[in-house]
Structure 1
Amino acid sequence: MPLIDESILRYLSSAVDIAIVWFIVYKIILIVQGTKAVQLLKGVTVIIAVKYLSAYFNLYTLERLMQEAINYGLLAVIIIFQPEVRRALEQLGRGRLFSRSTVHEEDEVMMNIEAIAKATEYMAKRRIGALISIERDTGMSDYVETGIPMNAKLSSELLINIFIPNTPLHDGAVILKKGEILAAACYLPLSENPFISKELGTRHRAALGISEVTDSLTVIVSEETGVISLTKNSELHRDITSEELKSLLVKEMHVNMKPTTSSKWYKRGTK
């Protein structure tokens, strides 16, 4: 007589199988969260829902159309989201898809956050306008190409020098990625949201615009008031201190350091 009943083994096997599948789905959701792929998943959900509803109500033409969209959708997804798919496969090849950041990586991220906060505080006190966009999962190569390539190591001093008025690079945005200044004087898309406060200038509209199409974090220093702001996922956080900025960056970049700010995100267009 076997030590464990076969039916129990089948239940255990099914439970492990379901747990592994849900874990993979959960990790995939974390990867696509805050990227353009989220909108894709919403679109796929709508197409599937329409297909089943059309089948239920015997709408044969619509059902056939939705089925064709599903059949050819996979190829379209691979083509449209090629950078995201490539990045996920690269992470899988390096064994990093399910891993957390190492201590060394987190120390480096904290150094970069300190440099951004220090430069922002300096410029805010002197009312030097600035626009700093931090690339995350969604690639920003299209916007990097609109500026002047730098490929320089990030430092607070270099950031400050870039935005000094009446210099060749001060007009436009700086785009950062993993401790590197990719380019300066970059053009970012302006938000078309009609509910944005009229008192917000071009820098804030550009910061909101890039946050609507990527998952980047964008820091703004107002030239008129010296006020520091931050945008993320079409949300604007206004009038924050350098310490609050540092805490928000720590939180959003998933560094193991407990944020000290208790402030909340404000939806775009709020004052």
Structure 2
Amino acid sequence: MRRKLAAGNWKMNGLSDQLAEVEKLCGAHPNPKVEIMIAPPATLISSMVVTAADHPLEVAGQDCHAKDSGAHTGDISAAMLKDAGASHVILGHSERREDHDETDDDVRAKARAALAAGLKVVICIGETLEEREAANTLDIIAGQMAGSLPDILTGENTIIAYEPIWAIGTGKIPTLEQIGEVHDFIRSKLEARFGDGVGRSIRLLYGGSVKPSNASEIFAVSNVDGALVGGASLKADDFSGIIQALEDAI
């Protein structure tokens, strides 16, 4: 049974006073029926770990370098994230792929480094609007999976987030049928590559303009095991509504 996951990605948002929202969120869900994870900016990881010390909230990094250490000014290694108290790291987010020219090979190398450091990985995949309109979505997804996923994945250490790039922060979302088609396709590819056991155990998240108002219908779609939430995870009330919708979907 795959445990549902509500994951928040704060991106480049949040100062120390934002931790009050985390305290509020933990107070609203003292014994959650689903897993909750937040990826704050690296400057807040240690503080968030302390803030949520008495709560099962998981804290994640937003990226890591493929090397353990070295002359890479401004980068952060998987071991550093682990040392700061993070349990997960998000890799291959479209904003990293676009803004920093990250390739599938880069994402795969980072995933290997993160897994070696004892972190769990959330690997992001998704198509552009042009690719969607050209009916190339499934080919793009298949290529990203083949290139970005290392061979050492299990349901315990890996989560895959499908984020159509054109839906991130735009208020637009694919139809429920489109979400279901991609999630079912991802599941079939995982089973074909890793076997039925592992393929069925890896959780699949949907990301892209998820809000309390649309979460319930998204969580009812086949093979959607939760969400990777951007802006709506910054406020406890908004993220709490999504968490509640996910708990209701169990």
Name the structure, 1 or 2, with higher relative contact order (CA <8 Å, separation 6+).
2
TM-score (norm 2): 0.26
TM-score (norm 1): 0.24
The structure with the largest alpha-carbon Rg is 1
